[in-house]
Chains A and B, each alone.
Chain A
């Protein structure tokens, strides 16, 4: 064919449905992420605690003789809201570390290599881009938080009987809602840091730092200014406060009110979204 005939022609093949276009991004991201052996090992390590909990639940229903012999031991083996609250706390810590590993590599490579125009010259919106990148984290973090949590809940329900599930259905709700709140906060922080700090290592350090330094600064602020509101800067504490309300454990989050915690989390999410949309654009102004 003569060169002059090779003119531009629009793509005439089948189009991916508009609603599912954002799922293309996680497909490629997972392929790249799972090349890292360390990440795979860490992901496996994230399932140790849920596996331990499953064994614990099984034993608590098979050591009935222990209950007869020792009342204290029976109390120790009780599976209640506190058990699932502790489960959520442990898995939230693992989720946080996993986010620090995975998060920095989500947006920054696209920005460093000026790849965003290649996404946005296609029928693909900024929201879809953010949703696609976020879904990588949402999927991974769900895999280690509320999904095993619900499996443990179902396991307990099947062993304890139908009456237990009717009396404690709200625990399942607390596991899902509490985990989703934490996943949302972590994902947005990771995406915002990844978009603003192009150096992956620095972005990872900032993801770690936002929680640690926020907590430390909040406590220091409380001590120096003799206030209590500094605890709102501690996003982990805010989440624990929300969880304690969801799990109906009044003593677990004493520093701040639940409403203040919800407001702090919402404010953090909005700031992250604003930062994210400020950076994720189909053009870059080079000064």
Chain B
């Protein structure tokens, strides 16, 4: 009997796979998933170009780092030029206050960092140092983007698109009755559809995460450890598993799954501010616990809201993984019960 169910499930997965991967309705999911890849690719290109430029300038006009550090506010333009030589990049003059104040910016580089000295009427007033980006900085930025954009928004909305489409999309297309008329248990149908959605979501989002990780380490000699890489890919897959089950159930229980989706979005977004006990009733809490780097909330967060952020100990790896699987199993059991009683009224839907 199990072998029969298994064969039926594989048949459903086979049928659903093309619809899930190649549906026109789901093309925006690819855009959402691969937008961060474009972002990291752009960053790599810009970084490599800047690095080459700075090294070429430093080779043509060598300026020792010690001399750059010796420059102090209050020095005159001539003193700075005497110590560092003629500026090599992007020097410009601007006049303020109807031309009364003459501002000038002189740029130097030691091959790694860029120093911009700002003069007002020939006197040094500001020193801006733009240091070369480091792998440690980019690793932290990746962790923040992964947790606050990729998990909370890209995978979330991607799963809304993929999993609500499995049942609700067929209702809209008036094609679900073909499945319901086939001699197949509703639970098997649900499991097959969920498996197809999960395979598609995991393939799309883990591929995107893997590309992002590759692009992250591309401009550097060092790279993330195998443990970190597998942790990020695993978290992306678990996010698809958790959110997928929720939105599959939403597609079955609600005529308009947008309402539960908006509710879940608000709940997951408010997770930062929830008390410890409530934090644990969310998917994002377990996913964040599994992330290898702790990303702090956005630095530009409203100070009043920042006061409301509550810190909670992350869940242990075993508990987090088991928790996500348990939540998924419970949601799927409820969804399969609903699927058993599912009746179609295309007119009403």
Residues in chain A within 8 A of chain B (CB atoms): 38, 97, 100-101, 199-202, 204-206, 208-209, 212-213, 216-217, 219-221, 223-226, 254-255
Tell whether A216 pairs with B152 under 8 Å between CB atoms, given A201-B164, A205-B161: yes
Cα distance, A212 to B161, chains bound together (Å): 15
- Report B121-155 residues with CB < 8 Å from chain A CB: 133, 141, 144-145, 148-149, 152-154
Measured CB to CB, the closest approach of chain B to A76, in angstroms, equals: 14
B73 in contact (CB, < 8 A): no
B172 adjacent to A199 (CB under 8 Å): yes
Number of residues from B at the complex interface, CB < 8 A: 36
B28 adjacent to A213 (CB under 8 Å): no
Cα distance, A189 to B133, chains bound together (Å): 37
- Not counting A204-B256, A209-B157, a sample of 12 additional A-B residue pairs whose C-beta atoms are within 8 angstroms of each other reads A199-B172, A201-B164, A205-B157, A209-B153, A213-B153, A216-B152, A216-B154, A220-B145, A221-B39, A223-B141, A224-B39, A225-B43
Which residues from B are CB-within-8-Å of A101? 258
A201 adjacent to B258 (CB under 8 Å): yes
Tell whether A208 pairs with B153 under 8 Å between CB atoms, given A201-B168, A219-B148: no
Q: Which residue of chain A has its CB nearest to the CB of B138?
A: A224
Cα distance, A38 to B255, chains bound together (Å): 13
Which residues from A are CB-within-8-Å of B172? 199, 201
Which residues from A are CB-within-8-Å of B32? 209, 213
A219 adjacent to B298 (CB under 8 Å): yes
Residues in chain B within 8 A of chain A (CB atoms): 25, 28, 32, 35-36, 39-40, 42-43, 46, 133, 141, 144-145, 148-149, 152-154, 157, 160-161, 164-165, 168-169, 172, 256-259, 261-262, 265, 298, 300
Cα distance, A254 to B169, chains bound together (Å): 42
B133 adjacent to A226 (CB under 8 Å): yes
B258 adjacent to A255 (CB under 8 Å): no
Cα distance, A216 to B297, chains bound together (Å): 12
B145 adjacent to A223 (CB under 8 Å): yes
Q: Show 11 A/B contacts (Cβ-Cβ < 8 Å), sorted by A.
A: A97-B262, A201-B168, A202-B161, A208-B265, A212-B265, A213-B153, A213-B154, A216-B153, A220-B145, A220-B148, A225-B39
A223 adjacent to B262 (CB under 8 Å): no
B141 adjacent to A208 (CB under 8 Å): no
